[in-house]
Structure formats: C-alpha cells, structure tokens
Homo-oligomer: A and B are copies of this chain.
Amino acid sequence: MNKKYKNALFTLQNAGLSKTPQRIAVLTSLLEATTPLSVRDISQTLAAKARIDRVTIYRILSLFKQHGIAREIASSGGTNYFEMASLENPVHPHFNCRNCGELSCMEPLTFSQSRQLISSQEDYSVDHIEINISGLCAVCRNATKLQKQQNKQV
C-alpha cells in the first residue's frame, strides 16, 4: 500500500533515521501486519520483493526498538516477535496458540478485564497467563545511579 509506504518514510524521517530501502521494507511489513512478526516472517515476506539479509533485519529491528518505533514480544517457542509501537497501537496482551503457534493481538484492556473477556468467550481455551515485566532491578538501578554520579565528578 502506498499509504503504508508514506507512513514508513515519515516514521523514519521523524526518528532521524536514514531512509534505506531495507528499513522502509521492514517498516512497511510491520505496518501492514495484523499480527506480530518474527524475523523469519519478515524475511519470507520480503524475499519476493527484495533481498535482505537476516542479520540486517535483526539490526533494523534492534534500531527500531531503541527508537521506540517497534516493540518486542517474547514467546515460549524461543522466537521473538515484533510489532509497531505507536499511539494507535498501545501495549496490549498477546495470545499464543499452542497448536498452530500463531501469535495474535488482544484488546488493550487491563489484565483482569482481559482475563474475564477470555473466559467468557467460548472460542478460546486458555492454558496459561504470563505477565512479564522488564526493566532494571533494584541492584542494577542503584549501580547505574552510582556510575552516573561518578561520571559527573570526573
């Protein structure tokens, strides 16, 4: 879609990143996707259009994460998934089917709301709910603070 392409250009421009064909292609994939994508998904999708190395995709996604453009989702299958991180696409729960492996997005409700929603739907069968929070633990946070102070003194 031309609209997604323009959106991709604008997003890169806005983040101050250079607009290479590879970055535009990866970003367009994420914008067009209805579910989070793995590196493999992106690689296969783009294989027909252009030749992009696996490594390049990893590096681009890492860059997007740093700039708050994309979000990473861990899955127990050992593969990580990526989705757009924007105001239109706020943080939301994900559903991982243990049978087909597909990762889909759920409505951005609170945890308790989501839980109620799922249990009230006949369609889904829930095995397990996982809440993972990432950041800095107390020890590392203090260590970081200390480092900053020392740097100021030097």
Contact = CB atoms under 8 A, between A and B. Distances in A.
Interface of A: 71-78, 80, 91-100, 102, 104, 106, 110-112, 114, 118, 123-141, 143-144
Given A71-B128, A110-B112, A137 B95 contact: yes
B76 A78 contact: no
Given A95-B135, A133-B93, A133-B130, A76 B80 contact: yes
B100 A140 contact: yes
A130 B131 contact: yes
A126 B130 contact: no
Contact of A74 (B75, B110, B129, B137): B75
A132 B78 contact: no
A145 to B, nearest CB: 10
Given A75-B74, A76-B74, A110-B112, A95 B125 contact: no
